[in-house]
Each structure stands twice: as C-alpha cells, then as structure tokens.
Amino acid sequence: MNIHDKPKSLRPESVTQGPMAGSRKIYVHPDGRSDIAVPLREITLNPSANEPPVRVYDASGPYTESEPAIDLSAGLPRIRDPWLARRAGLDFYSGRPVQPEDNGSVSPDRLAPPCPANTSPRKGRDGALVTQYEFARAGVITEEMIYVAARENLGREAVLEGAEAKIADGESFGASIPAFITPEFVRDEIARGRAIIPANINHPELEPMIIGRNFLVKVNANIGNSAVTSSVAEEVEKMVWAIRWGADTVMDLSTGRNIHNIRDWIIRNSPAPIGTVPIYQALEKVNGDPTKLTFELFRDTLIEQAEQGVDYFTIHAGVRLGYIPLTAKRTTGIVSRGGSIMARWCLAHHKESFLYERFDELCDVMRAYDVSFSLGDGLRPGSIADANDRAQFAELETLGELTKIAWDKGCQVMIEGPGHVPMHKIKINMEKQLKECHEAPFYTLGPLTTDIAPGYDHITSGIGAAMIGWFGCAMLCYVTPKEHLGLPDRDDVKTGVITYRIAAHAGDLAKGHPAAQLRDDALSRARFDFRWEDQFNLGLDPDTARQFHDETLPKDAHKTAHFCSMCGPQFCSMKITQDIRDEVAAMEREKGMADKSAEFLDGGGKLYV
Amino acid sequence: MNIHDKPKSLRPESVTQGPMAGSRKIYVHPDGRSDIAVPLREITLNPSANEPPVRVYDASGPYTESEPAIDLSAGLPRIRDPWLARRAGLDFYSGRPVQPEDNGSVSPDRLAPPCPANTSPRKGRDGALVTQYEFARAGVITEEMIYVAARENLGREAVLEGAEAKIADGESFGASIPAFITPEFVRDEIARGRAIIPANINHPELEPMIIGRNFLVKVNANIGNSAVTSSVAEEVEKMVWAIRWGADTVMDLSTGRNIHNIRDWIIRNSPAPIGTVPIYQALEKVNGDPTKLTFELFRDTLIEQAEQGVDYFTIHAGVRLGYIPLTAKRTTGIVSRGGSIMARWCLAHHKESFLYERFDELCDVMRAYDVSFSLGDGLRPGSIADANDRAQFAELETLGELTKIAWDKGCQVMIEGPGHVPMHKIKINMEKQLKECHEAPFYTLGPLTTDIAPGYDHITSGIGAAMIGWFGCAMLCYVTPKEHLGLPDRDDVKTGVITYRIAAHAGDLAKGHPAAQLRDDALSRARFDFRWEDQFNLGLDPDTARQFHDETLPKDAHKTAHFCSMCGPQFCSMKITQDIRDEVAAMEREKGMADKSAEFLDGGGKLYV
C-alpha cells in the first residue's frame, strides 16, 4: 500500500524526528573555525567494550538531534548565510514572479501555500567568483570545502596508523584517496573537476557534502509528490525519511499540481542537496506535449528552480538528433523519461536538440546560482540486452564534450550513467566515463545486473552499484523494490536507501578508504563479544536488527547472552572460540607461540607424502 | 515471528503444492532415452508476444506439477531405482540398526515415526564402479549424467545462433562452457574432478543436478528443525518451500530430538540433494562435549546418514592442530561450528584432528554410498577483518591435499569457502581455490562484503555471491535476512533463496552462459510491450511482482495498460519510444537508415570545435 492511500489518520502531520537508536548527534569544528559546525553521529558502545564511541557520517540533518527544534514554516537554520554574505560576487534581487503554471495551474482552493521561510533569491555577478569551481580554480578555499573536509574525515585522526594500513589494503583502480582529507585537497579536486559540492547559493540551509571518486561513495534517493497530497509535511517527510536512513542527496522528481510550492517547503527544510529534472516541469507547462518545448521555456524553468535553491539539475543535453536512430533496434528503446522527451522533440522538428545547441546559455544560468550539472544519460540502456551499445556510448562521448564547455563556463559537473548492465560490462562503463568525461564524477542508477527479478531490483542493482562504486563511481542513485512496478512507500524507500548504503560502503571498503573498515571492525568485535545492543546500533538499521533478534529471543537477558538462537549455547562457535583463545593465550604465556604452529604441524610435514 | 511460534492452526498440515504462477511443469526426454524424464518449467506468454514459451530450470520437484500426487508417507517416485538396479556394484543389505541416540534419545511419547517409505539401504562393493566419479573415470556415462546434461541445456537447442553469440559476450575467467552440454561433456568434467553430481545411491528419489564451474551456478538453502515440532509435514515443508523458490540443494542442519527420523521424511520426499554436517549429530551423541568425540563415533554417524541417503557431507578435515594458533589473534576467531568443535577437540587432546589423520577411512565410507565430500572451511573468516588470512588459506591448502586423496579413493569432492570478504579480496579466493584444490568445485557462503548491516546480510552477501559466481564459484550457499540475529522464517527463506537466484543468474550472465540471457531478454521485451502478466511470470517471484504492481494499479485493465504508476501515461518513456520507433521505421522505409545517423549529426562534426 502506498503511504498516500492510507487513511488520513495515519498520514504524518509532522516529520520523523529524534536520534537514531543508540546514537547521539555531535558537531565538530574544523581547526580554527569554531563558526563551522560539522555533524557526525556517535554510536555509544557498552562500557564492557572498553572502546571509544564510533563516529559515522551523518546525512540526516537536525532532525536526528536529541531535542530537535523543527519548524517547517521557518525552515532549517541558514548555516551558509554568513559565508554567502561575505562573498562579493553575490547579490540579492527580486527574482522571477511565480506563475500559475509553475504550480501546474492548480485551482486556488487546492493551492498549497508557499513556504513562509522564503526570502529573496541571490544571484552571482558576471566576472565574479560564484561557483565552488570558480573559487577552487582561483585557489580560494570556501567554507563549504572546509566543511566537507571535516565531514569526510569522520573521527579518523584518532586512528592514524591503522588508517594508513587500510589504504594499502584496498584496490582503488587509480583513485587517489589520501589518509586525511584537507580543505586544500578538496579545493584541488574541485578545481580539477574530479569532485563537486552541489550547493546552490539559494540553499543556505544546506549541510555541504562532496561527490567525487576520492571521497566516500554517496547515495541519492528519489522522491516524488503524490496525486493526493494532504499536507506539505507529508511531502517534506519523504525527504526527511530518506536522509534519516542515509541518503546523501535527494532528487525531487515531482510532477503536477503544487510542485513549485512544495519544492519550496522541501528545500527550505533540507540539509541535503536537492536535485531535479527540470524538463519534467517544463513539459507540464506545455501540457505534456514534448514537441511544444522551447529553449526559452526550459531556461525560464531553470531560473525558477535555481532561485528556489535546487542544487543540481539533470539535463539531457547529450541526446543528439543523430543518436536517436541508434536506439531504434534496441530491445527497450529509450527508457529515460528526459531522454525520450528530448528525442521526441528532435524527431518531430528534425532539428538538433536545443539543450545541446544552446548548452553554453544553459551554463550561464547554472553558474549564476552555482547549480551543478548532472548531465543526464537519456540514452542509458533499459535492459541487459541494450547495455553498452553505441547509442549509450555515443551520448557519453557527447557528455564529455559538454563537460569541458561547462567547466569553461565555471560550472560544476557530474555525469549520469546506467542503468541495466551485466557484471562483466560494468567496469568498461567506469573506465570509459573517466576517459571521455575527463574524470568528472560519475553518478549511476544501479546498474541492475539482471532483468529477471522484478520486485527485487534493489538487489539486482545493489550488486552493480557496489561494483561500480568500487571501480570509482562517486554517487549511486538508489533503486527500490518497487522499481518497474509501482510507487515506493516508506518501507521501500528505507529498503532502497539501506541497500545502497551497503553498496556504497562495500565500495569504500574495497577501494581501501582509510576510515571505512573501522565500523566493520567495531561491529565484528561487538558480535564476537556478544554485545548485542552494540551490534544492533553499529548497523545501518538498528531497529530492524533488534526486531529480528527479538523475534526469537525477546527476553532482555538474552541481550547479553553469550549465544544466539541460531545455534544455541551448546553449539556456539564463538563461545568455543573464546575457550580456544583462552587456551592458546595460556600456552603462549607458558612457552611462547612463535613456533607453536610449526611444532603442532610436526615439522610442517604433510600427510600422505 | 518464527513460523514455529505461530498458532497451530497456521502451521502447515501438508506441504505447499501447485504450479508457479503462469507456468506449467514439463518433462523432456534426452535423445533415445524415453525412460528418462527431465523436468523444466515453461512460462507461457501472452499470445500478443508472438513468442514461444520460455523454458527455465526447475529444481522444485513434483510439488509444482499441475495436479501433484504427493503422499509424504510414500515418498517421491523412486526414479533412479531402475538405473541403480542395473549397476552391478551395488548390493542391498540390512543396514545399521537405528539407535536411541540417533534421535537425540527422545522419550517414546515424543518420538516422530520413521517414514514408511524407507527400504533397506544399498551399499557399493569394493572394487566395483559405484560413484559417479568412478564411472566417469572408467569412461561410463551414467543416467545421472544424461539427466543433468538435458537439464542444463534448458531449451537452448531452439536458439542456437543467439546462444553462441552470448558465449562470446561473457568473461568467464578461464571456464570452458560449451554451447551445448552433452552427456560426454558431463562425464569428462566429473572425471576431471571439475564437477560433481551429489547422488547418494540411497536417494533414489533424487532428480540429479550437477555442481561445477562450467554449468549453471547453483544455490543451496539451509534448513533446520525446530525445538517444537508439531508434525513431520512441517519439517518437510521447509525443504519444499526452499526448492519451490529455486534452491538447488538443501542442507539439513538440524540438531536435537528426532533428527534421524525427520531426516528420513525429508530425504524420502526431496528431489534435491540433501547435505548435512554430520559432526553436529555426532556431538549430540556425546552430550555436546567436543572433547569426547571419537573417530569411531563419527564414522558410525556417517554410515547412519549415508544409509538414509544424504547426498553430501560437510566434513571439516582441514582444521589441523597447527592452524589453531593462527586464529588466536583474529577479530572473530573461529566462526564455523564444525571448525570450532574440531579445534576444541584438537587442543584438548593436543593431537592432530582424527578427521585429517584418518581421512582415507572416511573416504571408504563416502565411496561406498557415493556421498560427495563438501570439504568444510572450518577456519573461514567471520569478519571483514579476518578475510584471506593465513589460517584461512592454510586450511584451503590442506583441503587441496585432501581432494587428491578423495579422488584417489573414487570420491566426488567440492570445497567450501568463505564467508566474510570485502570485494577486492574475493577474486583471489576463487583463484587460489582453483589452484590449490585442482579445480574441484567451489561452494561458498556469500561472501558478505561488509559487516555493518545486520538484518540485511542477504544483500551484503548477495553482492559477494554474484561476484564469486561470476569468477567461477559453482554453488552459492544462501544467507537470509536473519543471519547473525535469529532463525529464519518462511519469508526469510524465500527472500534468501531469491536473492541468491539473482546472484547465481547475474553470475551466469556475466560468464556468458549461453542460455542465461534468454530469460532477461524475454522479460525485457515483455516490459517494453507492457505485457504486465508476462513480466510478472518471467520474474523469479511472480507473486511479489504482481502484488507490488497491484498496490498502486489494482484494476485488471491496468494489466494491459501501456503505462505504469511510476510515470503515468503522459510521461511514459516507453510509450514515447514506441512512437519514436514507429517514426524511425517510417523514415527507414522512405530512404534507408544506413547513413541516417551520420546525416543527422551534420557530418559527425562536434559542437564548439
């Protein structure tokens, strides 16, 4: 059942708040910058562990504070305002008046109110430093860069030596992950175009985050409005719920009535970057007829959304007229909505795409608000059969061409990728993207590694996502169990986000990210010590872990029992191992273990030789 | 809630029966062998598809026939009896008398009845051909080999050309998958030790299947008895449920009361090979004290279970005394139950393992019934921190040594593997196993690619399973969402099996298995054509797919609607693509498409150059 089909009494009147189980939100201050407060989550361990709390990345915003003071009408604290106020290149201005069609021409009685927290928009001046890319190229370290550097480091200063060892342990396929992230490293990566901080100057509520191959792998969750909306809180809740479970960015793919005003509420209350696909709204403004789209209408929609504070736009500027025939023989044609809309336009007019031809003018809008490009893969494969075909790669080459133009214009850029790709064809996607797109960050949907499991596409795609994250993909767009079948409900969104957090973390581990394994190790020790609560709380979803455990062994006493329901006390290998460990330790004290192994092996000889 | 906590009225009095949605069971006969009937499942497509039914592998046994005639007391049809009757090396004999301790010394009022379908056991004669390995080495093709050859081919004779193209498409890392599986190919693979057909001569009800790198990747599901058993049907149901969703083999990890008699019921009614870990039962016979185990008791337990028809035994003969100190510094010590039991014994007695020292005598038992070895990885890593350490690899080398001994004795062998391994350390496991164990089939648990997601370990491990299946692992032991937390219920078993079917299939696809992609392509075409019912039925779980779809669009009319609830009719990229395809086709008819692309691209020139 979709959440919106629920009786009104079950619909959220407010948003989910309060800390994650066993955790507390903390804020750390980068050296010398007490004015910058970077959120982390600290998981407290049982005193018997004799271990410090484990610090983990936290994308959930103020909603997970112990006593959150949330007022959706007021929006989140505008933490970037002091930073933005000091930038000479930004000016407030009146902004574009909201048009009835911005809200899908909704009738007045159904109009959602605008968010009272709205203020006049800012805009960047020509020739001044406006985007993170421009600052980085000019050698200037912004507050956003300082912020993300601290955020990426978690608590790993404390475990330096171990951390360095971990780097050597991974296989990063040419990534350059340092032991510690410094603001200067962040600046350098952004200047090279290898990372972006999606941070619209009109999204001062943002807690900045970075997307790039040499940083932690990130996860995006998609949300969309519903036909029947009972309250703006319900729409904001979708974003709050997704970031609670670990979404680093949220794409709002809404269409229809009230989307402008609801987007306001979402952005004013989102600590995470918000992405959109503006062509969806543009299409609504021409009543759903792709052939009626114009460059002017599209640009106006970009400005509309940029003034609201959208942090990145998916723009399918690589769908060129000449590539469309390449899709005609495909098993599943064009499956990207934006791609098919633009293809329809190109064919109807027999003209090159206006997004491609006038890309430089789009860049001018993007730069003025520091909206990052997410260059859309409108020709991504929609099936295993179509993976890595000429249409897909032709577009990728064009995206590389557009990347350089965007950089020349001062914009931040990432590149979207597939889609549906069997395992043996994933790596070439990453390699080709790095080469063709000059190392701009890659942002893929999955990929799904098989098409035979509708209802389980979070898993078919989680496999591909983990692999491409390892190979160098910077952000993974989640897929929920409802993919291809219906609209995800709350449970689906949570399952999708957690599956993708697994994929991202597995990728970080395999790349040898210096801080990644600390959490695995802490959880493994908790498991071995039968610290059940610690095991739950160190996991990605403490609530579900606890619930699963309690189904079989609900008693509180079992939370410290030195066995679990799977094997019972007699059969517990961990218990036996504990005995073995004690025994070996005793022998070690007795006579030294250095050659114990060799002695036991009778001189290392093999049987039957 | 565990199934066994359910009120009695909810407990199955019989087992799940009837066909999978949209499918019918068929039996095909290998050329010239009308006496051999090999099961397949045929998925019928909507007539509008203009496509033949899709044939898929079917491990579910007679339970999924249209009108199954199941009588648990009678057991399944003994299809192998005529084959076995013709083998000169096999004799019936009275067998070992059942002892009270075989059933956990259960009190008479609680004793589960033996299965009435039981008959006297067979035993192989010394010097005669008994095992599939011995037949294969002697150049003899058995009925089991003919059976599995037909089973592996599915319907791919019909699609020869496409199939050959698919092989070239994969990356198999040195596997040798032919376009068609012949009985001679099967024989040769078994003779080389690269594949096994686990097929105890006392399991005549078996529908033979093959485990090897050059065949379809297989999936094992574990089941176990419950403390409170209301009926034998309930215990048999666990096996039936697991194979319904696609488990190729089932391991019965039961302990405690009635295990001997319940095992009878399971085997008599199982078309899938049954595996066990005999040390569990042996340990119960010494009241749970590992130090009291003896070789004689263990061998007697092997004979007990071999006479019942268990098809493969996990035996942890590679846990040598000298390796135990190697585990003392591990984060999670020894996590294999069997491994920890044997380690305890070795340390307590300060002696080499009797399983290792008297391995040749174990081989004599295994050979006499053609029970396959599944050489257990008693020292597998239990955490990311312990992956690929010296203890693990030392044991693997010993398993290679034991493999040669088993082969010399005429036995079939596969090798068990980890466990918990980050992605970048998975491939070396496969490579080292192939090298050290002389290409004997590898059978891994997962591996889990991270430890931070208790409650989602089907996913953390499904990622690793897909990868190692691609790299060459022959069978994947499933992990359920309850792993590390509690006992899986029906839903967990289904989720685990389907996750692993995804992993196995993703592996087959990536290896370039000639028949694998046929199903993906059929489903993708159904998706593109909006044949919703076909899309559900071609999936691994038609019921869940249909349910997810119907949550948003329940009306029957929507089953043929040319859009879905995710985008709605206006936004449907597939619909737009259909229009594009029609348009391109029209243009093609007009003037030929060969140079259409080039023309559209204005001579292929790039913008801004």
Instruction: Please write the tens of the pLDDT for every residue from A145-170.
Output: 999 999 999 867 655 554 444 555 88
What is the model's pLDDT at position B143?
Answer: 98
Nearest-CA distance B490 → chain A (Å): 13
Q: Mutating which of B23, B423, B467 best tests the A interface, going by the most A Cβ atoms within 10 A?
A: B423
What is the model's pLDDT at position A607?
Answer: 34
| pLDDT at residue A229 greater than cutoff 80 | no
Q: Mutating which of B403, B573, B575, B582 best tests the A interface, going by the most A Cβ atoms within 10 A?
A: B573
CA A184 to chain centroid: 23
Instruction: Give the separation between CA B243 and CA B252, rounded to whole angstroms.
Output: 13
- Return all residues near B546 (Cβ < 8 A) that are at least 6 apart: B21, B536
Alpha helix (H) residue ranges in A97-142 = 132-137
Half-sphere exposure of B470 (CA within 13 A, CB side): 27
The region of weakest confidence among A336-345, A521-530, A532-541, A593-602 is A593-602
Instruction: Give the separation between CA B374 and CA B353, rounded to whole angstroms.
Output: 17
Instruction: Give the separation between CA B90 and CA A505, rounded to whole angstroms.
Output: 54
**Among B303, B299, B290, B240, CA closest to B270:** B240
Cα A41-B419-B377 angle, rounded to 5 deg: 150
| pLDDT at residue A356 greater than cutoff 60 | yes
CA B569 to chain centroid: 42
Strands, E assignment, A369-528: 372-375, 413-417, 442-445, 475-477
- Return all residues near B75 (Cβ < 8 A) that are at least 6 apart: B115, B117, B205, B268, B269
Chain A: residue whose CA lies nearest to B559: A485
Dihedrals φ, ψ of A82, to 5°? Answer: -60, -35
Nearest-CA distance B524 → chain A (Å): 6
Q: Are B375 and B320 within 8 A, CB to CB?
A: no
Banded pLDDT at A606 (limits 50, 70, 90): very low
Q: Are B448 and B464 within 8 A, CB to CB?
A: yes
B260 is in an annotated binding site: no
Domain A25-516: which CATH number of 3.40.50.720, 3.40.50.2300, 3.40.50.300, 3.20.20.540: 3.20.20.540
A349 is in an annotated binding site: no
Beta bridge partners of A218: A475
- Judging contacts by C-beta atoms under 8 Å, the chain B residues touching residue A322 are 596-602, 604
Beta bridge partners of A442: A415
Mapped onto helix, strand or coil, the DSSP state of residue B445 is: strand
Instruction: Give the separation between CA A401 and CA A434, rounded to whole angstroms.
Output: 13
**Among A61, A466, A28, CA closest to B453:** A466
B416 is in an annotated binding site: yes
Please indicate whether, in this complex, the C-beta atoms of B331 and A521 are within 8 angstroms of each other.
yes
A484 is in an annotated binding site: yes
> How many residues does the structure list for chain A?
609
Please indicate whether, in this complex, the C-beta atoms of B600 and A170 are within 8 angstroms of each other.
no
- DSSP characters for B161-215? HHHHHHHHHS--TT----SS--HHHHHHHHHTTSEE----TT-TT-----EETTS
User: What amino acid is encoded at B31 in this protein?
Assistant: D
The region of weakest confidence among A175-189, A351-365, A550-564, B209-223 is A550-564
- Return all residues near A119 (Cβ < 8 A) that are at least 6 apart: none
What is the model's pLDDT at position A280?
Answer: 95
Instruction: Give the separation between CA B165 and CA B567, rounded to whole angstroms.
Output: 35
What H or E segment, with its residue span, contains residue B444? strand B442-445
Please indicate whether, in this complex, the C-beta atoms of B328 and A551 are within 8 angstroms of each other.
no
What H or E segment, with its residue span, contains residue A538? helix A532-538
- Judging contacts by C-beta atoms under 8 Å, the chain A residues touching residue B467 are 423, 463, 467
Give the residue, A354 or B608, on which the prediction is more confident.
A354
Banded pLDDT at A307 (limits 50, 70, 90): very high
Q: Are A385 and A332 within 8 A, CB to CB?
A: yes
Query: pLDDT by residue (tens digit) across A56-103?
Result: 999 999 999 999 999 999 999 999 999 999 999 999 999 999 999 999
Instruction: Give the separation between CA A15 and CA A269, rounded to whole angstroms.
Output: 11
- Return all residues near B63 (Cβ < 8 A) that are at least 6 apart: B15, B16, B17, B18, B70, B240, B243, B244
Alpha helix (H) residue ranges in A107-258 = 132-137, 143-153, 160-169, 183-191, 232-244
Give me the average pLDDT of each 10-residue run along chain B (609 residues).
Answer: 40 82 95 95 96 95 95 96 98 96 92 93 98 98 97 74 56 90 97 98 98 98 76 91 98 92 96 98 94 98 98 98 93 93 94 98 98 98 97 98 98 97 98 98 98 98 98 98 93 97 98 91 94 97 95 68 60 72 74 50 38
- Judging contacts by C-beta atoms under 8 Å, the chain A residues touching residue B409 are none
Query: pLDDT by residue (tens digit) across A176-193?
Result: 899 899 999 999 999 999
User: A76-114 burial string, b = 16+ CB within 10 Å, else e?
Assistant: beebbeebbeebebbeeeebeebeebbbbebeeeeebeb
What is the model's pLDDT at position B508?
Answer: 97
Q: How many CB atoms lie within 10 A of CB B378?
A: 34
B494 DSSP assignment: H
Instruction: Give the separation between CA A284 and CA A295, rounded to whole angstroms.
Output: 15
| pLDDT at residue A1 greater than cutoff 90 | no
- Return all residues near B226 (Cβ < 8 A) that are at least 6 apart: B2, B3, B4, B234, B487
Please indicate whether, in this complex, the C-beta atoms of A336 and B2 are within 8 angstroms of each other.
no
- DSSP characters for A199-227? --TT-TT-----EETTS--EEEEEE---S
User: What amino acid is encoded at A305 in this protein?
Assistant: Q
Query: pLDDT by residue (tens digit) across A493-543?
Result: 999 999 999 999 999 999 998 889 999 999 999 999 999 999 999 999 999
Q: Are B338 and B378 within 8 A, CB to CB?
A: yes
CA distances from B216 to A445, A552, B209, B496, B504 (A): 28, 36, 10, 18, 8
Please indicate whether, in this complex, the C-beta atoms of B486 and A599 are within 8 angstroms of each other.
no
Nearest-CA distance B534 → chain A (Å): 11
User: What amino acid is encoded at A140 in this protein?
Assistant: V
A338 is in an annotated binding site: yes
User: What amino acid is encoded at B245 in this protein?
Assistant: W
What is the model's pLDDT at position B607?
Answer: 34
Please indicate whether, in this complex, the C-beta atoms of A571 and B602 are within 8 angstroms of each other.
no
- By Cβ distance, the residue of A322, A324, A567 closest to B337 is A567
Instruction: Give the separation between CA B440 and CA B443, rounded to whole angstroms.
Output: 10
Dihedrals φ, ψ of B399, to 5°? Answer: -60, -35
Please indicate whether, in this complex, the C-beta atoms of A401 and B328 are within 8 angstroms of each other.
no
> Over chain A, what is the mean pLDDT?
90
Instruction: Give the separation between CA A513 and CA A509, rounded to whole angstroms.
Output: 6
User: What amino acid is encoded at B140 in this protein?
Assistant: V
pTM equals 0.94
A371 DSSP assignment: P
What is the model's pLDDT at position A583?
Answer: 77
Nearest-CA distance A383 → chain B (Å): 6
Instruction: Give the separation between CA B584 and CA A433, rounded to whole angstroms.
Output: 29
Please indicate whether, in this complex, the C-beta atoms of A333 and B454 are within 8 angstroms of each other.
no
Instruction: Give the separation between CA B437 and CA B460, rounded to whole angstroms.
Output: 27
Q: Residue B447, preceding bond cis, omega within 30 degrees?
A: yes
Query: pLDDT by residue (tens digit) across A99-125?
Result: 999 999 999 999 999 999 999 999 999
User: Dihedral, CA atoms, B321, B324, B325, B330, nearest 10 degrees?
Assistant: 170
Nearest-CA distance A415 → chain B (Å): 18
A549 is in an annotated binding site: no
Mapped onto helix, strand or coil, the DSSP state of residue B343 is: helix
- Judging contacts by C-beta atoms under 8 Å, the chain B residues touching residue A462 are 459, 462-463
- Judging contacts by C-beta atoms under 8 Å, the chain B residues touching residue A321 are 600-601
Q: Mutating which of A576, A581, A587 best tests the B interface, going by the most B Cβ atoms within 10 A?
A: A576
Q: Are A452 and A412 within 8 A, CB to CB?
A: no
Q: How many CB atoms lie within 10 A of CB A161?
A: 8
User: What amino acid is encoded at A59 in this protein?
Assistant: A
Please indicate whether, in this complex, the C-beta atoms of A486 and B564 are within 8 angstroms of each other.
yes
- Judging contacts by C-beta atoms under 8 Å, the chain A residues touching residue B334 are 573, 576-577, 580
* HEC readout, B370-430: CCEEEECCCCCCCCHHHCCCHHHHHHHHHHHHHHHHHHHCCCCEEEEECCECCHHHHHHHH
